[in-house]
Amino acid sequence: MFSDYSLAELSSIFLMQGFAGLILFSVFVLMALGLAIIFGQMGVINMAHGEFMILGAYVTYFTSQFFLNHLPSLFGIYFFVAMILAFLASGALGMATEWLMIRHLYKRPLDTLLATWGLSLILQQVYRSVFGPREVGVELPGWMMGSLPVTDVVEVQINGLFVMGLTIAITVAVALLMYRSSWGKQVRAVVQNRVMAGAVGINTEKVDRYTFGLGCGIAGVAGSAFTMIGSTGPTSGQLYIVDTFLVVVFGGAQSLLGTIASAFTISQAQSTLEFFLSGSMAKVLTLIGVVVILMLRPQGLFVIKVRR
């Protein structure tokens, strides 16, 4: 298939393809970070993760509408406001969910699967009733559109760069929070041994609530960012949930580093295969690869060594 092209053309295409892989990588990390905290750290199988994302997307849509109608001069920066609001909205909904539902189920992790799946159906129908069944288009400020030409053929997508930057910022923030702050230490203590953590004076209920809220809040930010690349409708969250779980489980549920490594592996495999094969076949081969590796290594790529 490459005989018709010059070397220069080929190298620039491979450059762009590499960049496409990096964008996919950032998207996967952004999707999976929130779930890595909730599923990895707390052991809650949150099937409603996609719906928390879509709440963030809707918040972004309404913020954009508000800026368009009331503050058109500041439209260029509305996205940053929207991301903060999305974090707060999804985080608040997450904390409410934890308080009403999840905290009663910590001893029954499998039941969280059913409960949160129910929650996801409820949220979808709520979005449909409140925001309408039709998808909404989020208008982006002009500077986020289009691409930067590097050479004649190589072009770099601005919103791709934006997602990459955002992913790096959030990953660094989460890493600092989990591994360098005293709150992070408490979270990890609760994860490793809830009873013991309580015995040494950690308010485990409060830690749980904020952890869950943080995970959902990050999902909200991810949803906000995805308005740039995907659809915003009541059921759009479903588009992301499978990939999200795939990344988290493949990486080894309890390790943030594992999540990142697994996102990198899956995204590069998928984007390279997609280039040489068709989209559906690429997905099939990627999934087969993941299944085989998980059969050989059921705990995922990275595992934290804990005495059980």
Under rule CB under 8 A, which residues in 81-120 are in contact with other proteins? none
Region near other proteins per CB under 8 A, out of 22-30, 38-46, 165-173, 211-219: 22-30
For the CB of residue 31, give the shortest distance to other proteins in the complex, in Å: 10
Window 257-276: contact mask with other proteins (x via CB under 8 A): -------------xxx-xx-
Question: Pick from 72, 118, 137, 298: which binds other proteins (CB under 8 A)?
Answer: 137
* Subset of residues 217 to 256 that bind other proteins, contact rule: CB under 8 A: 226, 228-236, 238-240
Q: What is the 3-state secondary structure (H, E, C) of the chain?
A: CCCCCCHHHHHHHHHHHHHHHHHHHHHHHHHHHHHHHHHHHHCCCCCCHHHHHHHHHHHHHHHHHHHHHHCHHHHHHHHHHHHHHHHHHHHHHHHHHHHHCHHHHCCCHHHHHHHHHHHHHHHHHHHHHHHCCCCECCCCCHHHCCEEECCCCCEEEHHHHHHHHHHHHHHHHHHHHHHHCHHHHHHHHHHHCHHHHHHCCCCHHHHHHHHHHHHHHHHHHHHHHHCCCCCECCCCCHHHHHHHHHHHHHHCCCCHHHHHHHHHHHHHHHHHHHHHCCHHHHHHHHHHHHHHHHHHCCCCCCCCCCCC
Nearer to other proteins, 240 or 245 (CB): 240
Q: Is 13 in the site for other proteins (CB under 8 A)?
A: yes
**Least distance in Å: CB of 55 to other proteins?**
16
> Given the complex with other proteins, which of 1 and 296 has the nearer CB atom?
1
Residue closer to other proteins by CB (options 213, 234) is: 234
Number of residues near other proteins (by CB under 8 A): 51
In the stretch 141-160, what mask flags binding to other proteins with x, by CB under 8 A? ----xxx-x---x-x-xxxx
Piece of the chain touching other proteins by CB under 8 A; list 9-17, 40-48, 75-83, 216-224: 9-17
Applying CB under 8 A, the residues found at the interface with other proteins are 5, 9, 13, 16-17, 20, 23-24, 27, 125, 128, 133-139, 145-147, 149, 153, 155, 157-160, 226, 228-236, 238-240, 270-272, 274-275, 278-280, 282-283
